[in-house]
Chains A and B, each alone.
Chain A
Amino acid sequence: MAERKEIEIDFGRVETERMRLNVGPQHPSTHGVLRLEVELEGEIVTDVIPHIGYLHRCFEKISENSTFVQVVPYIDRMDYITSMNNELPYVLGIEKLMGIKVSDRIESIRVIISELNRIASHQIAVATFGMDAGAFTPFLFLFRDREMILNVFEKLSGGRLLYNYIRVGGLLQDAYPSFKNDVLDIIRKVRETNVEIMNLLIDNKIFIERTINVGTLPADVAINFGCSGPMLRGSGVKYDLRKVEPYSIYDKFDFEVSVGDGKIGTVGDSYNRNIVRMYEMEESCKIIEQALKFMPDASEDVHATFPKKIAPKGEIYTKAENPKGELGFYIIADGKNKPYRVKGRSPSFVNLSVLPYISKGYMIADLIIILGSVDIVLGEIDR
């Protein structure tokens, strides 16, 4: 569908009333407590106003009143399905401020679990996207596999959703002996299922027809709106912080930055945003394989580099490539054990702000598809 043209009907001024529809806060496919105020003309969306804040938990205010270590569990709760990824930029930022260098084993475990969590997050994204399109079965296939990743995280940290595993100067505890085998199992299974999902959902004619040319986001607009992650790469911009500003040990690994190629549909539409996630799962598998090779086998004390006292001084903007996009923290530390200010720049928050721009003129069913392709988590938007 192209942009909506102005409807001009001349005979007797036929004009129907525009309808205001509240999509959410309780709606099956707003992925949380998001409220969209939608103006409809028949089935056509003429305006969308997102109202957020229903899940606001005062992350920034709480951080100012807790110590640097106590902030980490709250960061887990920002994007609650990619907790491992969330912890990474914050911890790296504090370590950079304090000049802590951690061992190779710790770094590679961090990378492996981040990439595993990226796979888990993309699985949820593709699954819920399929569900928004009305396909229920891929959802359960992907959740079945995500279970394996959660099992590994549970063995590592004791938690299945909120891990609090990456600590300043180390990890909660060292990886267990069969960790490598478990991760290799997961990679094999993920690749297997991705083939299945491609056949069942992504290459399905109905699915393609539903998602191509829907919510097209041109590259320059995406950059101007500050979009990041699969949203920006779906528009064809090769921007991935793991390549652009490598943090941790990402510069040691060889992987491709997947972008929306427009083989099907146009670059920047919902289909391409989604297919980028499928490609990225494969790239994550590659990174994990290399990281497993890189990881020293000998078990070691992951608490060795723990600082005695965490009281850094200085200001830093630390960022990392979250599955949803660029997760940044502006941390101001004034030498006390509590941060003076922590600003969370959450990817979903910025990505969602482009929704009104890309969803005008499409149908209400497309609006749901577009929202699904943006892949938001309300915990992160509202913080």
Chain B
Amino acid sequence: MESNFILELFGNNIWSYLIIAVIPLGFVTLYALVAILGELKIASWVQDRLGPMRTGWKGVLQPLAEVIKLLQKEDITPTNVNRPLFNTAPFVVFIGSFAAFAVIPFSSKFIPADLNVGLFYIFAVSSFGVIGILMGGWSSNNKYSMLGAIRSASQMISYEIPMALSIIAIATLSSSLNMNKIIEMQSGGFWDWNILGGNGPILKIVFIPFLLVLFIVYFIGSLAETNRTPFDIPEGESEIVGGYHTEYSGMKFAMFFFAEYANMFVVSSLVTVMFFGGWQSPFGSFLNDPISQVFWFVIKAMFFVFVQIWLRWTLPRVRVDQLMYITWKVMLPFAFVAFLGVAFWSMIKP
């Protein structure tokens, strides 16, 4: 089955590939606006206030105003920064998170690039952002930026290990790294989603706890990966001012911002793909046509984006050593045990 309707429509030529590339870009832009509005409105809902109310109906145009404000802002490059690195860093960060969209399966009929190592690919490119953050932090010639960059690098590298373990576990369960394959394994309603043991006989309920642990490990890791509270220590504004983006302003700062939101969607969609059936409808074949699949996928991913925003406005920040403690001494052993459990299940699974 051709997994891309654009290739079916326009044939296998350069133009269709360009269109395929543009669609996620458009989606990211649109999504970022929605997510910023969501962040503002959820924050105000949590904090018992109204939030932006002046721009448009109930302030819905606020993110647009913010984007225009950031575009208009003077682009300040401080003296004594390393110019080439300083200027490229935000784009490197953004490229890292945007490249991940190449394998995000929005629907059974639309996945920009149907790689058979999709899961692995996402994991590879999302660590790209670390380089950008290190570049930005180091080239800023600012001690706070430097501290933030180093914190960020150590944090991301540490958290990738438990995250990788949960990815391996899912790959073992589905015996594939292909995104669409993993999703197709979970067809048949929510009972067959990986979080509930995947497709298999009733014996799978014994192994649900393992998958639950993997999900929690992956989700906590993804919070750290995207520098969101409670793991926002690389930019913890009460300690190190702005961390790696202290010296950035205007559009370059917006790129960091944009990349963070794009990254939130990437990790959320990965959670969706790995544990919550991706574009599968929760009701089996009901509403499971390619168009509804887009809806299911986006709604599931957005739910996890919402959880991330919700957590940000609820929890305080952890400290650097506690962060390391959580990943190396708590999450890693749990992930190992859970991985063994899942591997055992996929071995005895008929």
Using a CB–CB distance below 8 Å, which chain A residues touch chain B? Answer: 1, 19, 21, 27-29, 43, 130-137, 140-141, 144, 200-201, 204, 206-207, 209-210, 363-366, 368
Contacts and interface: CB of A to CB of B under 8 A. Distances in A.
A364 B240 contact: yes
A365 B322 CA distance: 11
Given A21-B143, A140-B47, A365-B233, A28 B241 contact: yes
Nearest to B240: A364
Nearest to B44: A140
Interface in B310-342: 313-322
10 contacts: A21-B143, A28-B238, A135-B315, A136-B313, A140-B48, A144-B49, A209-B318, A210-B318, A365-B233, A366-B319
B51 to A, nearest CB: 11
Interface in B126-149: 143-144, 147
B46 interface: yes
B243 to A, nearest CB: 12
Contacts of B144: 21
A27 B322 CA distance: 24
A28 B235 CA distance: 12
A134 B230 contact: yes
A19 B142 CA distance: 12
A364 B239 contact: yes
B8 interface: no
A376 B317 CA distance: 22
Which 7 pairs show the lowest CB-CB distances between chains A and B?
A: A134-B317, A135-B316, A133-B316, A29-B238, A140-B47, A134-B316, A207-B316
Nearest to A22: B143
Contact of B321 (A1, A27, A207): A1
Which of B47, B233, B319: most chain A Cβ within 10 A? B319
A206 B48 contact: no
Contacts of A132: 238
Contacts of A210: 316-319, 322
Contacts of A366: 319
B143 A134 contact: no
A229 B73 CA distance: 46
B49 A29 contact: no
B241 A27 contact: yes
Interface of B: 43, 46-49, 143-144, 147, 229-230, 232-233, 236-241, 313-322
B316 A29 contact: no
B143 to A, nearest CB: 5
B245 to A, nearest CB: 14
A29 B320 CA distance: 18
A368 B236 CA distance: 11
B322 A209 contact: yes
Given A141-B47, A209-B318, A134 B236 contact: yes
A342 to B, nearest CB: 36
A365 B314 contact: no
Nearest to B46: A137
Contacts of B314: 135, 137, 200
Nearest to A135: B316
Nearest to A204: B316
B321 A137 contact: no
Given A1-B321, A134-B232, A144-B49, 9 more contacts: A134-B238, A135-B317, A141-B48, A206-B317, A207-B316, A209-B322, A210-B316, A365-B236, A368-B239
B320 A43 contact: yes
Contacts of B315: 134-135, 204, 206
B258 to A, nearest CB: 22
Nearest to A201: B316
Which of B230, B315, B316: most chain A Cβ within 10 A? B316
B347 to A, nearest CB: 37
A363 B147 CA distance: 12
Nearest to A136: B313
A319 B147 CA distance: 44
Contacts of B317: 133-135, 206, 210, 365
A141 B49 CA distance: 9
A167 to B, nearest CB: 37
A43 B238 CA distance: 15
A363 B320 contact: yes
A134 B322 contact: no
Given A134-B232, A137-B314, A368 B238 contact: yes
B229 A134 contact: yes
A203 to B, nearest CB: 12
B319 A363 contact: yes
Given A135-B315, A363-B319, A29 B239 contact: yes
A209 B316 CA distance: 10
B313 A206 contact: no
Nearest to A144: B48
Contacts of A204: 315-316
Contacts of A365: 233, 236, 239, 317, 319-320
A230 to B, nearest CB: 20
Nearest to A30: B238
Nearest to A38: B143
A191 B168 CA distance: 50
Contacts of A27: 241
Contacts of A206: 230, 315-318
B225 to A, nearest CB: 18
A19 B314 CA distance: 33
Nearest to A372: B238
A146 to B, nearest CB: 14
Contacts of A21: 143-144
B148 to A, nearest CB: 11
A200 B232 CA distance: 19
Nearest to A206: B316
Contacts of B237: 28
A37 B3 CA distance: 60
Contact of A19 (B143, B239, B322): B143
A6 B46 CA distance: 45
Contacts of B46: 137
Nearest to A131: B238
Nearest to B229: A134
Nearest to B232: A134
A374 to B, nearest CB: 15
A28 B239 CA distance: 8
A126 to B, nearest CB: 13
Contacts of A363: 319-321
A364 B147 contact: yes
A144 B144 CA distance: 32
Nearest to B151: A43
A136 B49 CA distance: 13
A137 B229 contact: no
